[in-house]
Every structure is written in C-alpha cells, then in structure tokens.
Amino acid sequence: MGASRPVYLDNHSTTRVDPRVVDAMNPYWAEEYGNAASRQHEYGWRAEAAIVRAREQVASLVGASAEEVVFTSGATESINLALKGIAETSAGQGRHVITAATEHRAVLDTARRLEQYGFRVTVVPVDGSGLVDPDQVESAMIPGTILVSVMLANNEIGTIGPIEELAARCRRKKVLLHSDAVQAAGKIPVNVQTLGVDLLSLSAHKMHGPKGVGALVVRKSGAPVRLAAQLDGGGHERGMRSGTLNVPAIVGFGAAAEIALREGAEDASRMSRLRGILVDGILDRIDEVIVNGHPVQRLPNNANLTFPGASADAVMMEMRDIAVSSGSACSSAVPEPSHVLKAIGRSVEDARSSIRFGLGRFTTEEEIVYAVGRVAEAVSRVRARTRALV
C-alpha cells in the first residue's frame, strides 16, 4: 500500500486514540494540572469539574447515572474490584461464584484467586458459537451463589452473550450479575438498565480512548450493590477506589465515550460492511476456512478465522505488514492455544491456526482489500510448506 507502517487490524487489543480525544486531554497535562481532590483552590475545582463532566459522559454511554460510575486504572482493576469486592461483602450470604469458559483472563484468573480464598467457582461451558446457555447458568445456582460474571461480547470471537436473559434469571434467584462490556461498549448499544446488570466493567483504550483508565458501573437503583474497596488510602471515588484520579486520562475516557455515543451506530455499520468484505474476500480466495463465533449475534468489527494446515504464527510472520493477533493480547505471553477456541470445540491444532481480525474507526476499505490479498498469499505459502514437510 505504500504505507510506512503495517495495516492495523488488532483493534480488540487496543485502539488508536481519536485525535479529538487527544485534544480534549491536552490541557490537563500542563495547564489544568490540579488534583481533583484539592477542594481549597481553583486548580482543584477545575480538575474536579472535568472529572464530573467525564463521569457524566461515561454514564451516558451505558445508560447509567453519574454516581454509579467508579473510575479505575482499567478493566482488569474494574473486574477485580467487582468480583473480589462482592465476594468480601457477600461471604456471609454464600461463597459460590459462576462464570463462563470463554471469559477474559481477567475474570477467570480473578475467579481462581477467589478459590484460594475459600470460594467455590463453577465455570459453565458454551456452545460451538460461544454462547452460554442461561438454563445451564441457572441450574448451576445454589443457595450459596452470590455472583454470576458473564461477558457481554467476547474479545476473541465477538459473540454477544444473552445478558438480558441471564439478568432475569439472576434477579429471580437474588444473585448479582457482573458483565465485562469492554469489547461491546462503543461497538453495540450498551444500556445497564435494559441489560439488567448489577455491575459493568469498561475500558477507555478499547473505544479510541487512552490506556490506563477504565470504570466499574455499580448499580444504585433499587437495592444498591454493596462491594468492598480493594484499594485503601484516601477514600476517593466515594470510598470504592482510593488513589489520586488520573485527570487527563479520565477526561480522555469521557471524550471517547461521548464520541462513541454520538457516532457508534455509524461506526458499527461501516465496520460491519468492511468486515463482510474481509471475510467474503478471504473465503473466496482460500479453501477450508472456518469462521469462529456466532454468525449473527456478534460484534460488527470482529472476525476470527481458522486456517487448517497453516500455523497462525507462521502466517503472521509471512505478512508482517498486517497487524493481527492469534488471540487475546492479555494472553499472548502464554504459549497455550486460545482457551476460547478450545471452549467452542476447536482442536488444539485448529486453535493454533486461528487469527483474530479487529476493525476500528480508522480502518479503511483500501486496507481491507489489501489485507485480503496478503492473507490469501500468506496462508497459501504456509500450507504449501507444511504439505512439503509431510
């Protein structure tokens, strides 16, 4: 393409910060540098006002009230706060947590830590498209179940889960529901009232905002959700998350959320069209390709494809001018094949032959057409070498 840098199709791992977000953040590095907790002077007041606005922007994106938004350092912290915070406050009512086999490592590893604290964790399987069965989740509930954690949209295969139905089951059983909405927010409509969730985790850098900032939405309506803080020292964020607020990043998160709310539907429509060009083009040019994830209930910007007989690592080495991944960026240091692909029934060999394509706001049709050609060439070369070795 004549570009000096690779085509970027790894928007599930992180996204380019929108220039409008950068503009919103810029004054808060060196001009508006006050501490939002400094209530005695104008510098602090102006920083606090910026936080208030950002909190409203993030809340609006997900249909929450501003006082339900707790800012964190990112979704991993939000998930830890949700699971461990509920476990601590609800241990007297029960010590059982339910989650799904395809959850992000931030959920699964936190659940494993709870097991070390004496909690019992049930991991419910998913079907071949990555959907969890609400009946199975409800069947797993026992009198001591205190929390269910199921993601809204999967970070590897893009499948959108039945969160509304799960929420209804949880309400009937008086069990709290947490959902990881990191990949969903900004890509599909997300409304905590409609979904019926009690806790929702978010991350700015997955929606063209900065890294290092996220949020946990904690329901206040009805019977407010009570959870124990996991960071002590100062009582910031209404006592739920101590620590000096990262004002520039939070301002950027707010700006990214506002843009996503305003332009998300248009972005989603464009990304869905481009994904169709990508997938159809690859299927036309390469034999024996498996499309992973639900065919309909999926994120508009996701494509996860298995190329049997072609190692994903080898394919990616053949096309270094295309930035893609073979799974979650948070698990890339782990040599094992994707736990998500194994959970939907892919063999270890097929899981190692799968590539995730993530489109974003700045992906162009020219880049997609170019990527189709490069993927086809790379897969053909790798398969030819593999056959020659057999």
Structure tokens at 245: 């607020």
Would you report the helix, strand and coil content of the chain in percent, each value rounded to 5? 45, 15, 40
Tell me if 162 sits within 8 A of 196, measured CB to CB: no
Give the tens place of pLDDT for each residue, 269-285. Answer: 999 999 999 999 999 99
Helix 365-389 and helix 247-285, axial crossing angle in degrees, nearest 10: 60
Residue 272 amino acid letter: S
What is the token pair recorded at 324? 């893609």
Taking residue 37's Cβ as centre, other Cβ atoms within 10 Å add up to 15
Q: Sort 99 into a burial class: Cβ within 10 Å, 0-12 / 13-18 / 19+.
A: buried
Q: What is the pLDDT of residue 155?
A: 97
pLDDT tens digits for range 293-335: 999 999 999 999 999 999 999 999 999 999 999 875 554 555 6
Q: Please name which of 181, 180, 158, 204 lies closest in space to residue 301, comparing C-alpha atoms.
A: 158
What stretches in the chain show pLDDT beneath 70? 1-3, 328-335, 390
User: What global pTM score does this model have?
Assistant: 0.95
> In sequence order, which residues have a C-beta less than 8 Å from that of residue 162 and are 6 or more positions away?
131, 132, 134
- Kind and range of the H or E element at 199? strand 199-203
Give the residue numbers marked as catalytic: 330
Q: How far apart are CA 359 and CA 187, in angstroms?
A: 10
- What is the C-alpha to C-alpha distance for residues 134 and 131, in angstroms, rounded to an integer? 9
CA pair distance 92, 303, nearest whole angstrom? 43
Quickly list DSSP for 68-127. GEEEESSHHHHHHHHHHHHHHHHTTT--EEEEETT--HHHHHHHHHHHHTT-EEEEE-B-
Nearest in space to 83 (alpha carbons), one of 41, 114, 48:
114
Q: How many C-beta neighbours within 10 Å does residue 58 have? A: 30
Structural domains for the chain: 7-16+264-389 (3.90.1150.10), 19-258 (3.40.640.10)
User: What stretch of H or E contains 8?
Assistant: strand 7-8
Paired residues of 356 in beta bridges: 304, 325
Distance CA 298, CA 289 (A): 18
